[in-house]
């Protein structure tokens, strides 16, 4: 999948819409960014609201539009500090001369100003104003200072202006703004061969219903899968996380699909394709009741009623054997309690994946890997078997991410 075309997927943008007739272009920008898979939250300034409405913005972004600094509900639920830091990038479009001047002076008269002061993320401006205003010495000085402060400025376009004059000052075309956003993220991840790669990750257990109040499952916490998803995303990968029931909060900036059963996970994984790689960490139940009872099953003279079990689809095996939509790199996890490497090597051959990460889930000192913060794994390929020392699940995720990076870097070097 092309890195540039995919680089904006699941990235988080905070768009601040300033005043001016060019504000209407923000609606097309939001629509186009959503087409690229970007998550867009917006702050609409008071002057911006004279040109576009919160309803039109929220209809396109699918998110609430933030306007008031002293909205107590938002301060409890989001807060301007969290809002300013929950994005990967802050974009002001259109940026007025007044807004730029306030940024230089460090003024925070409203939600937009406060957010720009509070953010620890990169800021990008797309100015739009009358040509004479743009070339005014004060505006040029402010633009120079903003650049010196680390703010990227997308140059305004030249042409007919709303005031009837002709010259520099038009808001850059939407396509040009998107190009700048793509360039930003490509530069950010320029040293990572995972930039723009779509990677499917599964995590957690599955629950197979027996009746409305009972199910069969396992003790997987989802911690290892979530850590892998976050580690890959930090390297610029576009991650789709398909997760069974866990107590973990969905990781920010990662497309997360929550499921219950193995069949739901299989369907979600197939719908998430195509992908460049798949990391199947989830502890999927091998079996499920053929049919869940509609009502709670009652005791039958102290005996457990018979349940007819059927085998669930082996998701890793099925996707590994796809002819057209198979990810280039398929990685499975094997939870074992004995003969760890032997069983994992057998699974590698049987399932048709490229790598197997085998982890020992046997109970030691009264504790299992499932539900703990530590993991001991074996990294197994068709050629090698490496035992990794006991490490935190975050460290295991980082080591696996490095292996995946090396794989795609080698592929990239071969192609060039």
Distance CA 387, CA 390 (A): 9
Per the residue annotation, which of 163, 285, 353, 389 is the catalytic one? 163
Q: Radius of gyration of the chain from Cα atoms?
A: 26
Q: Over the range 99-129, which residues count as b (16 or more CB within 10 Å of their CB) and which as e?
A: bbbbbbeeebebbbbbbbeebeeebbbbbbb
Distance CA 85, CA 360 (A): 38
DSSP, res 180: H
Neighbours of 304 (CB within 10 A): 8
Is 163 annotated in the active site?
A: yes
Reference 390, options 353, 355, 365, 415; nearest CA is: 365
3-state SS, residue 230: helix
Reference 18, options 70, 67, 78; nearest CA is: 67
Q: Per DSSP, what are the bridge partners of residue 157?
A: 170
Lookup result for tokens 């050629």: 383
Contacts of 262 (CB under 8 A, 6+ apart): 206, 208, 284, 285, 288, 312, 313, 315
Tokens of 322: 């796809």
Q: How far are the Cα atoms of 109, 280, 336, 380 from residue 351, in angstroms, in the given order?
A: 60, 12, 16, 13
Distance CA 227, CA 220 (A): 13
| DSSP codes joined into one string, 22-83 | GGGHHHHHHHHHHHTT-EEEEEE-TTGGGTS-HHHHHHHHSSPEE--TT-HHHHHHT-HHHH
Reference 340, options 386, 371, 395; nearest CA is: 386
Residues belonging to the active site: 163
């Amino acid at each position: 999948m092309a890195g540039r075309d995919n680089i904006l997927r699941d990235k988080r943008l905070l768009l601040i819409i300033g005043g001016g007739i060019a504000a209407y272009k923000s609606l097309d920008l939001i629509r186009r960014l959503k087409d690229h898979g970007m998550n867009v939250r917006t702050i609409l300034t008071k002057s911006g609201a004279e040109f576009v409405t919160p309803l039109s913005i929220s209809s396109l972004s699918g998110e609430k539009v933030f306007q008031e600094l002293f909205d107590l509900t938002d301060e409890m639920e989001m807060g301007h500090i969290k809002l300013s830091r929950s994005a990967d990038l802050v974009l002001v479009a259109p940026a007025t001369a007044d807004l730029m001047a306030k940024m230089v002076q460090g003024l925070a008269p409203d939600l937009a100003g406060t957010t720009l002061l509070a953010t620890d993320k990169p800021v990008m401006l797309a100015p739009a104003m009358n040509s004479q205003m743009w070339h005014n010495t004060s505006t040029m000085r402010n633009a120079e200072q903003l650049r010196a402060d680390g703010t990227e400025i997308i140059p305004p376009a030249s042409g007919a202006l709303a005031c009837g004059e002709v010259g520099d000052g038009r808001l850059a075309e939407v396509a040009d703004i998107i190009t700048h956003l793509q360039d930003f993220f490509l530069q950010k991840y320029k040293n990572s061969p995972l930039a723009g790669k779509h990677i499917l990750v599964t995590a957690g257990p599955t629950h197979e219903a027996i009746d409305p109040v009972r199910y069969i499952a396992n003790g997987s916490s989802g911690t290892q899968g979530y850590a892998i998803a976050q580690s890959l995303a930090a390297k610029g990968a576009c991650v789709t996380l398909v997760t069974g029931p866990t107590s973990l909060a969905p990781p920010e900036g990662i497309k997360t699909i929550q499921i219950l059963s193995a069949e739901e996970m299989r369907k979600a994984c197939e719908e998430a394709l195509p992908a460049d790689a798949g990391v199947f960490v989830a502890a999927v139940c091998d079996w499920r009741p053929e049919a869940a009872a509609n009502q709670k099953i009652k005791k039958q003279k102290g005996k457990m009623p018979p349940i007819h079990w059927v085998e669930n689809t082996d998701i890793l095996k099925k996707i590994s054997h796809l002819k057209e939509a198979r990810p280039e790199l398929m990685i499975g996890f094997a939870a074992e309690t004995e003969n760890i490497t032997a069983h994992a090597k057998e699974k590698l051959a049987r399932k048709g994946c490229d790598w197997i990460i085998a982890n020992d889930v046997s109970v030691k000192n009264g504790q299992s890997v499932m539900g703990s913060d530590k993991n001991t794994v074996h990294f197994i390929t068709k050629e090698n078997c490496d035992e990794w020392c006991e490490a935190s699940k975050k460290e295991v995720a980082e080591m696996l991410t490095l292996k995946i990076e090396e794989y795609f870097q080698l592929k990239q070097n071969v192609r060039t």
